[in-house]
């Protein structure tokens, strides 16, 4: 028997040995990393304790004598928070230093362990963070929509940023309005600091700085970004009624005006177009057409016209016009496969809240229009963050509300996920709220009896849990939230007190110069940068009204001319008659005297005399003046 081995076996053994060595090295590296993370977290906690920052909500260490009451109250003492247990270990005893017992914690960890791809929200907090219990949203359930709510400064924007970054990294385009300009930081890698790293390590987040591919847009081109405009026709009467604050009757009247314009081939591109149609319908020429329309009174048309003028004079005319924005430009991915994050700057939201929220609704409705049905995809086509959502629902008419509810319900099958971002869930209409699968509820405050009532109402909308939610919701730290999501089988997950991951981008705005450079280099700028003004209702109606006016002027002038001609003829006849009489008188006088000598010359000279007389001259002058129309002046 030969001692020589088969070369194939030899190669396989060598490969096996290599893989084993590699696996061992990887394991060692992992252990080292974990140890380092624990060390860093412990160091940070000690440093914080020494600095007397023990009560800092973001990294609050646990109470050494943990009990439900004290942990919930957050009055923890400064024990070194060896917060993170080794990953993969079974849920540790330290994980039960909060309101939940070990079984609860295990159940939560299991309920959030999904099969498919997920977005990571953060780690469960039970007194301490429990890095083994990661709280996530299944990527495929994002089209079941969501809510991010919380009082100001509690972490909504950072939660939104973190979700948006992860979505983009997984190839999902994202749209968000950047109201305070603080989301632009996504375009710049974040900056680490000890506090941040202690936080991320504590929740088992392997934090590295990263930037997303961001495209900047500006509503109406006011502000920094590629201009986003809508045509009036595209916007439609319902949304326009909302921004104009019209009542129900006026709303249906406006719909008739749109119908009229459409039927008569009058394109409504900008506000000027709509204004000219209303002006026309309330003018003498247009009144018969107004009557024919039925259901639209001149008075109502007048009111709408006034509202429209005020609206346009307030500067809103820049938001309407061409080129109209094509929302498919929000569905882009970068060449490397990452989703593009579209950030819309909205100037002066506070001054024009209804315009802002209505515009977002318009964009959503447009997306609904252009996207095909996809059912329930593995990952969404787009996730749309609807910030300051309370503005959308405020003073909304019944029709408008029903339009929102329908859009939100149906857009799911087009693969679009909508996240409403607002201060309290009561800002969102209950029909819409009922459709939101994921909820990330940051701290709520209950300063007034109204707040307290809203808080209790919010609590009632959660599934039963091991938490005293009314209390916990008021005591969550900054960047912590009460979370429940829709699991892959469509059932809500158990409520989890979560410390939210930190975004990998900058938590401050991206520097202006970089934003400007990005806009200047945008491939969309040539398409939308310049406003164009094509022939539309305004120009067409102006021409029509001018033509009508011109015709009337001409008719008047012709009538005047005819009148004057008649006057001239009358005067002519009178003059002739008078001359004849004068002639005959003279003839009589002279007859018999120089009759024979009377020549044609004598006759002529008499006629000349008559024509030269003062009365005749005055009469003739009057006729000439009349013909030039200057007579009465
Ligand atoms: N997940 C997080 N990780 C790290 N820090 C966070 C996190 N969430 C919030 N913070 C800290 O809290 C601050 C306030 O958070 P954020 O701006 O998200 O609040 P907000 O709820 O959006 O407030 P506002 O209602 O005023 O817009 C952040 O600037 C950041 O320092
Ligand atoms: Mg914010």
Q: What's the rounded mean pLDDT across residues 28-47?
A: 54
Give the C-alpha distances (Å, rounded to integers) separating 611 from 602, 607, 615: 14, 6, 9
Cα gap 225→215, rounded to integer Å: 8
How far apart, in whole angstroms, are the C-alpha atoms of residue 512 and residue 510?
6
Question: What is the pLDDT, as a whole number, of residue 39?
Answer: 52
Ligand 1 mean position, distance from CA 441 (Å): 13
Q: How far apart are CA 582 and CA 572, in angstroms?
A: 15
Please tell me the distance between residue 421's alpha carbon and the centre of ligand 1 in angstroms. 13
pLDDT of residue 22: 63
For a pLDDT cut of 90, what percent of the chain falls above it? 55
Q: How confident is the model at residue 464 (pLDDT cuts 50, 70, 90)?
A: confident
Distance CA 421, CA 178 (A): 12
Asked whether the predicted pLDDT for residue 424 surpasses 60, the reply is yes
Query: How sure is the predictor about 27, in pLDDT bands with cuts at 50, 70 and 90?
Result: low
- The percent of residues above 70 in pLDDT, for the chain, comes to 78
CB under 8 A, 24+ apart: contacts of 188-195: 188/505, 188/506, 188/510, 188/511, 188/514, 189/504, 189/505, 189/506, 190/502, 190/503, 190/504, 190/505, 190/506, 190/507, 191/506, 194/44, 194/47, 195/44, 195/48, 195/58, 195/59
Residue 47 confidence (pLDDT): 52
Burial label, 544 (beta-carbon count in 10 A; 0-12, 13-18, 19+): middle
Mean pLDDT of 445-464: 90
275 sits in which H/E element: helix 271-281
* Residue 25 pLDDT: 60
Say yes or no: CB of residue 155 within 6 Å of ligand 1: yes
Q: What's the rounded Cα separation, in Å, for the pair 575 and 464?
A: 111
Whether 311 contacts 243, CB under 8 Å? yes
The protein residues having their C-beta less than 5 angstroms from ligand 2 (an ion) are 157
Cβ(505) to ligand 1 under 6 A?
A: no
Confidence of residue 515 (pLDDT cuts 50, 70, 90): very high
Q: Give me the pLDDT at residue 208, please.
A: 97
Lowest-pLDDT range, 45-49, 80-84, 88-92, 361-365?
A: 80-84
- Which of the pair, 401 or 493, is modelled with greater confidence? 493
**Banded model confidence at residue 14, pLDDT cuts 50, 70, 90:** low
Q: Which ligand is nearest to the CA of 161?
A: 1
Beta bridge partners of 96: none
The pLDDT, as a whole number, for residue 602 is 45
Please list, residue by residue across 188-215, b when 16 or more beta carbons sit within 10 angstroms of its beta carbon and e when fewer do.
Answer: bebeeeebbbbbbbbbbbebeeebbbbb
State the DSSP code for 179: S
Q: Label residues 322-347 b or e (16+ Cβ within 10 Å = b).
A: bebbebebbbbeeeeebbbbbbbbbb
Query: 28-79+96-229+325-522 in CATH: which number?
Result: 3.40.50.300
Ligand 1: residue of 479, 483, 497, 504 to mutate (most ligand atoms within 8 A of CB) is 479
What are the angstrom distances between the C-alpha of 455 and each of 40, 159, 429, 439, 470? 37, 21, 16, 15, 7
pTM: 0.73
Eight-class DSSP state of 238 = H
| Per-residue pLDDT tens digits for 164-197 | 999 999 999 999 998 888 899 999 999 999 999 9
Instruction: Give residue 330's Cα distance to chain centre.
Output: 12
How far, CA to CA in Å, does 537 sit from each of 265, 269, 304, 323, 470?
A: 8, 8, 17, 16, 57
Question: If you average pLDDT over every residue of the chain, what do you get?
Answer: 82
Given this model, what pLDDT does residue 356 score? 82
Mean pLDDT across the stretch 535-546?
Answer: 84
Distance of CA 532 to the CA centre of its chain: 22
Please determine, for residue 425, whether its predicted confidence score (pLDDT) is greater than 60. yes
What separation in Å is there between the alpha carbon of 525 and the centre of ligand 2?
A: 28
CA 136 vs CA 203, 254, 464, 483, 632: distances in Å:
13, 46, 19, 9, 89
Q: Which atom of ligand 1 is nearest to the CA of 182?
A: 17
Band (68; pLDDT cuts 50, 70, 90): very low
Regarding the beta carbon of 154 and ligand 1, being less than 6 Å apart is answered yes
Bridge partners, residue 478, by sequence: none
**Residue to mutate (ligand 1; options 150, 157, 503; most atoms within 8 A of CB):** 157
Are 303 and 250 spatial neighbours (Cβ–Cβ below 8 Å)?
A: yes
Q: What is the pLDDT of residues 248-284, one digit of tens each?
A: 999 999 999 999 999 999 999 999 999 999 999 999 8
The pLDDT of residue 413 is above 80:
yes
- Compute the half-sphere exposure of residue 178: CA atoms within 13 Å on the CB side of its CA: 28
**Can you read off the two tokens belonging to residue 478?**
């900054």
Of 77, 73, 128, 119, which is closest to residue 98 (Cα–Cα)? 128
Query: Which ligand 1 atom is nearest residue 479's CA?
Result: 8
Flag whether pLDDT at 52 surpasses 50. Answer: no
Mean predicted confidence (pLDDT) in 92-113: 84
What is the per-residue pLDDT for 589? 76
Whole-number Å distance, alpha carbon 156 to ligand 1 midpoint, is 6
Q: Return the best residue to mutate from 180, 478, 483 for the ligand 1 pocket (most ligand atoms within 8 A of CB).
A: 478
Evaluate: CB of 236 within 6 angstroms of ligand 1: no
| Ligand 1 in reach of 122 Cβ (< 6 A) | no
- pLDDT for residue 621 is more than 50: no
The end-to-end CA distance of the chain, in Å, is 137
Give the residue with greater pLDDT, 33 vs 364.
Answer: 364
pLDDT in tens, 543-573: 888 888 888 888 888 899 899 999 999 998 9
Tell me the CA–centroid distance for residue 482 and ligand 1, in Å: 15
Domain boundaries, the chain: 28-79+96-229+325-522, 231-321, 562-590+599-627
The answer on pLDDT for 628 being more than 60 is no
User: For residue 217, what are the β-bridge partners?
Assistant: 226, 344
pLDDT in tens, 103-156: 999 999 999 999 999 999 999 999 999 999 999 999 999 999 999 999 999 999
């Amino acid at each position: 028997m030969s001692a020589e081995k088969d070369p194939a076996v030899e190669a396989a053994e060598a490969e096996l040995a290599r893989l084993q060595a590699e696996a061992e090295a990887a394991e060692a590296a992992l252990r080292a990393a974990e140890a380092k993370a624990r060390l860093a977290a412990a160091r940070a906690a000690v440093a914080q304790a020494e600095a007397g920052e023990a009560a800092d909500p973001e990294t609050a260490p646990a109470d050494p004598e943990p009990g439900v009451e004290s942990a919930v109250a957050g009055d923890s003492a400064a024990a070194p928070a060896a917060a993170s247990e080794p990953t993969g270990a079974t849920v540790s005893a330290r994980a039960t230093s909060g309101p939940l017992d070990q079984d609860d914690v295990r159940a939560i960890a299991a309920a959030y362990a999904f099969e498919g791809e997920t977005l990571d929200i953060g780690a469960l907090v039970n007194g301490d963070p429990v890095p083994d219990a990661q709280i996530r949203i299944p990527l495929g359930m994002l089209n079941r929509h969501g809510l991010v709510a919380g009082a100001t400064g509690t972490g909504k924007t950072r939660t939104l940023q973190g979700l948006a970054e992860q979505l983009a990294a997984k190839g999902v385009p994202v749209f968000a309005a950047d109201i305070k300009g603080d989301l632009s930081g996504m375009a710049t890698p974040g900056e680490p600091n000890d506090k941040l790293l202690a936080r991320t390590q504590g929740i088992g987040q392997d934090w590295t700085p990263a930037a997303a591919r961001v495209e900047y847009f500006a509503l109406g081109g006011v502000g920094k970004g590629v201009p986003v405009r809508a045509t009036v026709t595209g916007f439609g009467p319902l949304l326009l009624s909302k921004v104009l604050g019209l009542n129900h009757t006026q709303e249906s009247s406006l719909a008739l005006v749109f119908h009229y314009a459409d039927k008569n081939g009058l394109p409504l591109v900008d506000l000027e177009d709509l204004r000219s149609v209303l002006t026309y319908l309330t003018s003498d020429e247009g009144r018969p057409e107004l009557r024919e329309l039925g259901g639209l009174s001149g008075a109502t048309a007048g009111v709408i016209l006034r509202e429209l003028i005020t609206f346009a004079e307030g500067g809103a005319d820049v938001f309407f016009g061409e080129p109209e924005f094509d929302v498919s430009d929000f569905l882009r991915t970068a060449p490397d496969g990452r989703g593009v994050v579209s950030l819309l700057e909205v100037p002066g939201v506070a001054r024009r809240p209804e315009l802002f929220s209505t515009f977002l609704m318009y964009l959503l409705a447009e997306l609904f229009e252009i996207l095909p049905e996809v059912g329930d995809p593995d990952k969404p086509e787009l996730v749309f963050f609807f910030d300051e959502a309370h503005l959308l629902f405020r003073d909304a008419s019944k029709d408008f509300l029903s339009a929102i509810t329908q859009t939100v319900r149906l857009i799911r099958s087009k693969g679009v996920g909508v996240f409403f971002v607002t201060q309290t869930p009561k800002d969102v209409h209950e029909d819409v709220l009922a459709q939101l699968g994921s909820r990330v509820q940051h701290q709520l405050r209950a300063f007034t009896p109204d707040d307290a009532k809203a808080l209790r109402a919010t609590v009632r909308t959660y599934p039963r849990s091991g938490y005293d939610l009314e209390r916990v919701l008021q005591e969550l730290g900054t960047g912590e939230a009460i979370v429940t999501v829709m699991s892959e089988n469509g059932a809500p997950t158990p409520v989890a007190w979560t410390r939210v991951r930190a975004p990998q981008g900058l938590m401050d705005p991206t520097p202006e110069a970089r934003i400007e450079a990005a806009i200047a280099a945008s491939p969309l700028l040539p398409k939308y940068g310049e406003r164009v003004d094509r022939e539309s209702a305004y120009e067409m109606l102006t021409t029509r009204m001018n033509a009508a006016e011109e015709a009337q002027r001409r008719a008047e002038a012709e009538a005047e001319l005819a009148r004057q001609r008649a006057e001239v003829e009358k005067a002519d006849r009178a003059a002739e008659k008078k001359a004849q009489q004068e002639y005959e008188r003279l003839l009589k006088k002279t007859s018999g005297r120089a009759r024979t000598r009377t020549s044609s010359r004598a006759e002529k000279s008499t006629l000349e005399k008559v024509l030269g007389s003062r009365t005749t001259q005055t009469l003739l002058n009057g006729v000439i003046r009349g013909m030039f129309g200057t007579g009465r002046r």
